[in-house]
Chain A
Amino acid sequence: MIQTKDETHPTSSACSCSTCGPEQPTPCCSGSSARYSPEIHTTTSVITGADRWDHFLARWGVNRMGHIVAPGLYRLGNPTGDSPVFASANYTLSFDALRSALAGIDCYILVLHTKGINVWCAAGKGTFGTDELVQRIESTGLSGIVSPRRIILPQLAAPGVSAHEVARRSGFSVEYAPVRARDLSPYLAAHTATREMRTVKFTLAERLVLAPMELVHAALPTIAAAIILFSLAGPFAALAAVAAVLAGTVLFPALLPILPTHDFSTKGFILGAVIAIPFSIIFALIPEMSGFAEIVAVLVPLLVIPAVTAYLALNFTGSTTFTSRTGVKKEIFRYVPAMVMMAGAGTVLWVALGILRFMGVA
C-alpha cells in the first residue's frame, strides 16, 4: 500500500495536532479546525502484491490485530474542496476494499481508529461509532478542507453511528452507501441504492473465506486430541477427531444453506452424524469383539462426532451475517446440554469398552 504523508497546511508551532491519533493518544490542542495543521496522507486505489499477502495473513489470523492502517485523512487522486469524503475502518481489508473500489474517483477517505477491526464488527463494538467519527472529523480539520459538509459511510457502520447525532455534533450530514464497496460506483451515479445493494449476503465464497480462521481456532485442541486418540485407539480414532473438526469448521460453512433444519446446532448434528457413520462401520468391523463391544463401538462415533461438529457449527454463528443474539441464546439453552450429554456418554462408553477389552471381557 502506498501511503505517503504531506502537509497541506503549514505546521503551527503552537499546536501538534498532526500527531493526535491512536498512536499518540495524548491530549492535544483544543482549538477550532482553523488552528489545526492536519496531515493528509496520500493513498492510491492500487492493490499491490504486498497488500494481497497482508490480506492472506489476515484471513489466516496471523498477527490478527496487526493489519492496521494509520487513522486520519487520506487523499485519493486529486480531490478538491468539493470532492466527496468516505469513511472507513483502520483495518487493511476494509480500507483496501474501499480504496480499490474508488479507482478513478478523486476523493478523501477518513480512516477511523477502530483498533484494526473491520467496519461491521467495530460498529457493533462502538469503536466505529458516533464519538470516534465526530472526533476524527474535528481532529483532521475536515470542515476546513471540504465545503459540502457530507460524509459517506459504509452501511454496515450504522450499528455504531447515529447519523442524526453526528449531524448535530459535527455539522456533517451522514450518507449511508451500500453494504459492498464494489457497489459504490453505481451508487455514486444516483446516490440511491437498490434493496439488493442494501442487503447483506453470505455467499459460498464469503463463507469459505472464513474457514481458515475457524480451522486455526480449533487446530491446537484437535491436534492434541488426535495424538491422544492415536496412542490409545489407533489411527482411525485419530482420523475421526480430525474429521469431526473439519466437518464443523470447513464443511459446515460450505454446506450451511443446504443442510436441513434452520438452527445451526441441528444442522451440525445432522452433518456430524453423516460423518460418523463410516467410522461406526469401521469400528464395528474390528475383529474379535463381543456383541456388546460391537454395539458400543458403533455408538461412540455416533455420539461424540455429531456433538463436536454441532458445537463447532453453533460457534460459527459469530462469523455469520444474520444470527441474532436472542436466537443464538435460545440455541445454546436448547442444544448445548444435549451436546455435553452426548459427548460425555460417548466418552464414558469408550473408556468402559477400553477397560473391558483390556481385561479380556469384551
Chain B
Amino acid sequence: MFDSYMESTLRYFPDRCINCRRCTQVCPHGVFAEGEHRAELVCSAGCMECGACALNCPVQAIEVQSGVGCAWAMISAALRGKDMDSCECSCGGPESSCCGLTKEDPCSCGAEKRNQQ
C-alpha cells in the first residue's frame, strides 16, 4: 500500500553468472551481493533500474529496462504526446545538450565509429 517501488524490471539469470563480481561493484543500492560461486540477488526492491549491472555484466546474466525515474520528464513527454519511456531528461538544458538526441560530428580519431546512444 502506498509503495509503488516494490517491483522493477530487473531479471537475474544466476546460471549464467561467472562470479566476476562486477555487479556488486557497480550497483549503488546493494541489490547484488558476493556469493560463494555466483552473485546473489539480495535486494530486488532496491533496484532503481540504472542499468549499470546489466551493462557491465560480461555474460548477460542480468537484464533490466534501464531508465531515469523522473516524473517531470515522463509527465512532460506524456503532455507532448510522446512516449513516457522516451529518452527525455530533466537537466534543464536544451535537448541537444543532453540525452544524446542529436548526432555528433564524427571524429575520425577513434578507430571505431561512434554508435548513437
Contacts and interface: CB of A to CB of B under 8 A. Distances in A.
Nearest to B99: A125
A131 B3 CA distance: 37
Contacts of B2: 261-263, 266
A250 B117 CA distance: 35
Given A129-B117, A317-B71, A336-B75, A326 B9 contact: yes
Nearest to A269: B2
Q: Chain B interface mostly helix, strand, loop or mixed? A: loop
Contacts of B49: 324-326
A314 interface: yes
Contact of A325 (B30, B68, B91, B105): B68
Interface residues of B, number: 64
Nearest to B73: A318
Nearest to B23: A158
B72 interface: yes
B35 interface: no
B67 A325 contact: yes
**Interface size bracket, A side:** 35 or more
Contact of B109 (A20, A158, A160): A20
A27 B46 CA distance: 43
B30 to A, nearest CB: 6
Interface in A120-146: 121, 123-127, 129, 131, 134-135, 138-139
Interface in A166-193: 169, 176, 179, 193
Contacts of B75: 315, 332, 336
Contact of A121 (B66, B85, B89, B108): B89
Given A127-B100, A159-B51, A163-B56, A328 B92 contact: no
Interface in B23-76: 24-30, 46-53, 55-56, 58, 65-75
Contact of B93 (A64, A135, A261, A327): A64
A325 B69 contact: yes
Contacts of B4: 262-263, 327-328, 330-331, 334
- Nearest 5 pairs of A and B residues by beta carbon: A318-B70, A126-B117, A158-B52, A323-B69, A327-B5
Given A138-B109, A158-B52, A321-B48, 17 more contacts: A25-B104, A30-B111, A117-B93, A121-B89, A127-B100, A155-B25, A159-B51, A179-B28, A198-B27, A199-B28, A200-B29, A263-B3, A315-B75, A317-B70, A318-B69, A318-B72, A334-B4
